[in-house]
Chain A
Amino acid sequence: MAEHNPFPGENNTGHVWDDNLRELKNPPPRWWMLGFWASLLWVVGYSLLYPTWPVGQEPTQGLLGWSQMKEYEAGMAQVEAKRAKFEDQIKGMSADEILADPGLKQYTLASAKVLFGDNCSACHGSGGQGNPGYPVLADDDWLYGGKTAKITESITIGRQGAMTPHKDILTAAEIDTLAKWVVQMAETNGAGGSEEGWNLFKTKGCTACHGQSGNGILVELPNGDIVTVGAANLTDGIWRFKPGGYESAKHTITYGVNQATVPESRNAVMPAFGATGQLSDQEIKKLVVYVHQLGGGQ
């Protein structure tokens, strides 16, 4: 570095290297500098007001006391406050009353969609389309009844049907006949079952659960409610255990349903969502409305 400036009057800093390489003073434009200082001021102000400096485990908290969690909680409180109007109304109403009110129905359907996704769709499918072994909720085939009261019951206390294994009760030929009969019934909506099949159906105790006509209904009350034990309706084309057909029917008749001692038996358990406290009454009510509206509510 030169002690004497060899290039006076040229606005340099006095730093000269390699004889003539020198540093000039070229300050940025004033507006740029203003922006620069304004930004610095902003940083100071910001760091005072908001959490900024990583000191210790927690950063400095800032004078405003703002945090992302608080903002999130305030936002959630706002949402809850908006929902509260509807939730309070729903609290005092039955599922049927909610269904009769278009506005509340829309709200319930929208908010229950999440509940359905969290609790039901794993088995019944996202749109209630069912899965192999799990019933379709979007159709009008209700083994335990499709009215809101019955749906509430199904969700609250759960369902666990049972069917005796017939491998030791019936001969192979009888099982074969019955399985064929079930397929005939399904294909003709209950009109075309063989005589031989009907005889076996009525004499071998099937009617105890499946009803006299095979539709799964034991008694139909004057108000339209049905009494069932959850046995499949054999007079429609809907199969409880998919894929349906002869082999499927034979398997079910042979090994039964929900038999602890028969490993091959069908598994058909609906958990009790209310009795176990997994869902509140309010949540169940909303789900009932949702399921009722999936396509086949009665």
Chain B
Amino acid sequence: MTTNEAAKTPSVVDDLYEEADDWQVNTGGETIHAKRIPGRWRTFKWLMSSVWLVFFLGPYLRWDGHQAVLFDIPNRQYHIFSTTILPQDFWMLSLLLLFFAILLAVLTALAGRVWCGYFCFQTVWTDVFTLIEEKLEGPPAARRKLDQSPMSARKLRIKAIKHLIWILIGFFTGFSFVAWFTDAPQLWLSFVTGTANGAAYTTVALFTAGTYVLAGFLREQTCFWLCPYARIQGVMLDKTTVVPTYDEKRGEPRGRVKRGGEEAGRASGDCVDCNQCVAVCPTGVDIRRGQQEGCITCALCLDACDQVMDKVGRPRGLIRYASLDEMEGHPTRPMLLRPRVWVYSTILILALAGILYGLTSLAPVELKVLHERAPLFVLQSDGSIQNRYTLKILNKTPDLVSFSISASGHHDLVLTGADEAVAAEPGGVTGTTVFVRIPERALESEQQPITFHIEGTRASGAPLKAERESVFIGPRP
């Protein structure tokens, strides 16, 4: 057989090629210009996005003469309103992370990629960037036309303004981020006078570039190919999860509305095949193909479809938040009867309770006692046994506090090395070494508990106290 003959013979491979034409793999070859239409979900989306205003405005909040929330990394102090958290209290951060991780899981299990659709910075920033694009360049058709038109003074002007605004937003994003870690007004001053530190400039530059590229150019490609959460959340969905879904039973077969056509007794389904759901989609997917990796469940197609349904006089909700079970006609279980909800909620409540406990029980001073291990005990020439302890005093107050040390737990114990008070540095750990002696004959067991106490007074006169149990070790009696 010659190659020319082979070309004329149909083969199974050709079928596959034909099928391949039908696959839509969005690799960013074409910029998606989504149509913007008003609606319930559009409004809801803006409300949710506005959470990010806190990110921009938060650093300027003042409290007691200092920045209300300040993550002071060089000094290892984290100020949240009147609370100061030192690295020693960082176990709370793990609970906080657990809380948000589970919150992500529970929201995704219940209502799909809520994070992606409404809160994710990639979604929100892209939304704002495309809004600016629309304001400057016009609706999607005008934008496509502008993109294809040759360079002109008008095009250059519009594009320049657009990119400038994008970069400005990128700059404010980076600047606001840095402002959480250093005094914000001070940062502005040093930033414009060129005296801010290198890390600040680098971070702002990286954020500016990152925001500009990610929200301006990569857009939905980030969700498709870069973001791991997009895929992770995909597997958290199940048949009971409510996600934006096209009601296939109601919609199919699709049929265009014909001029003068009878509404009653039509053979087609409710879908009028207007493609509005695709036109408004920021990731360019067709929701009518079912739930898919590209869908960030932003619900903008719900608005589009409802609007069309209103126009043609058919009931709303052809695309609506619904579970697969509901669509397939299976009985749906109420939320409270689903074990997932209970398990997730329990973890959430436990994590939250832990954080609340931590925040309410933050002691202003903490004492740690390290018992010397080499040697565990030493026989002294007067026949007593001596143990050595390293005391670590964590002083979380901003005052230099002088602490006196005492020990209790045995009637014959003698504490040495603690005659003078220890001056504990503010916001840091101060260590000191003390010795405890107990006559060998007075020891009843190989080891026994003893307690160390420290007492001091703050500059305001408020007493500070802490104690810690340790152990006294001696030879086997």
Contact = CB atoms under 8 A, between A and B. Distances in A.
A136 B375 contact: yes
A139 B221 contact: no
Contacts, number: 81
A156 B15 CA distance: 93
Interface string B337-375: 000000000000000000000000000000000001111
Contact of A106 (B1, B3, B29, B431): B431
A265 interface: no
Interface stretch (B52-60, B165-173, B376-384): B376-384
A37 interface: no
A213 to B, nearest CB: 13
Contacts of A236: 381-383
Instruction: Output the residue of B217, B375, B423, B435 with the most chain A CB within 10 A.
Output: B375
Contacts of B3: 2, 6, 16, 19-20
A156 to B, nearest CB: 25
B87 to A, nearest CB: 20
Interface string A11-47: 0000010011000000011110000000000000000
A139 B379 contact: yes
Contacts of A7: 7
Interface stretch (A82-90, A126-134, A170-178, A218-226): A126-134
B386 A141 contact: no
A92 interface: no
A233 interface: yes
B379 A31 contact: no
Contact of B374 (A16, A106, A125, A139): A125
B174 to A, nearest CB: 20
B28 A29 contact: yes
Contact of A20 (B13, B221, B379, B422): B13
B120 to A, nearest CB: 19
Nearest to B28: A29
Contact of B433 (A128, A129, A293): A293
The range of chain B's interface size is 20 to 34
A228 B372 CA distance: 31
A102 B423 contact: yes
B27 interface: yes
A31 B221 contact: yes
B162 interface: no
B218 interface: yes
B88 interface: no
Contacts of A130: 375
B379 A127 contact: no
Contacts of A237: 379, 381, 383
A296 interface: yes
A243 interface: no
Q: Do most interface residues of chain B lie in helix, strand or loop, or is the interface mixed?
A: mixed
A236 B372 CA distance: 24
Contacts of B29: 29-30
Nearest to B431: A106
B423 A6 contact: no
Interface residues of A, number: 34
A189 interface: yes
A233 B382 CA distance: 12
Nearest to B374: A127
Contacts of A6: 3-4, 6-7
B113 interface: no
A102 B425 CA distance: 12
A138 interface: yes
B396 interface: no
Which interface residue of B3, B13, B27, B422 has the most chain A CB atoms within 10 A? B3
B473 to A, nearest CB: 13
What's the dominant secondary structure at chain A's contact region? loop
B382 A127 contact: no
Interface string A205-242: 00000000000000000000000000001001110000
Contacts of A28: 27
A283 interface: no
A225 B380 CA distance: 19
B382 A189 contact: yes
B388 interface: yes
A172 B374 CA distance: 39
Contact of B375 (A102, A129, A140, A233): A129
A237 B383 CA distance: 6
**Of listed B29, B374, B380, B435, residue having the most chain A CB within 10 A:** B380
B195 interface: no
Interface string B1-44: 10110110001010001000000000111000000000000000
Given A2-B3, A125-B375, A295 B386 contact: yes
B370 to A, nearest CB: 12
A19 B6 contact: yes
Contacts of B11: 20
Given A31-B218, A102-B423, A238 B381 contact: yes
Contacts of B221: 29, 31
Contact of B381 (A109, A140, A294): A140
A16 B6 CA distance: 11
B219 to A, nearest CB: 10
Q: Which of B6, B13, B378, B388 has the most CB of A within 10 A?
A: B378
B431 A295 contact: no
A45 to B, nearest CB: 17
Contacts of A127: 372-375
B380 A20 contact: no
A32 B83 CA distance: 46
A10 B221 CA distance: 26
A189 B423 CA distance: 39
B388 A189 contact: no
B413 to A, nearest CB: 15
A238 B3 CA distance: 102
Given A6-B3, A293-B433, A129 B381 contact: no
Interface in A132-155: 136, 138-141
Nearest to B218: A31
A6 B382 CA distance: 106
30 contacts: A2-B3, A6-B4, A6-B7, A7-B7, A16-B3, A19-B1, A19-B3, A20-B3, A31-B218, A31-B221, A102-B422, A109-B433, A127-B374, A127-B375, A129-B374, A138-B375, A138-B388, A139-B378, A140-B382, A189-B383, A236-B382, A238-B379, A238-B380, A293-B433, A294-B388, A295-B378, A295-B388, A295-B435, A296-B378, A296-B386
Interface of B: 1, 3-4, 6-7, 11, 13, 17, 27-29, 217-218, 221, 225, 372-375, 378-383, 386, 388, 422-423, 431, 433, 435
Closest 9 CB pairs of A and B: A129-B375, A127-B374, A236-B381, A19-B6, A29-B27, A6-B7, A141-B381, A138-B378, A139-B378
Given A106-B431, A296-B380, 14 more contacts: A2-B3, A6-B4, A16-B3, A20-B11, A30-B28, A102-B423, A127-B374, A128-B375, A129-B375, A138-B378, A138-B386, A139-B379, A236-B383, A237-B381
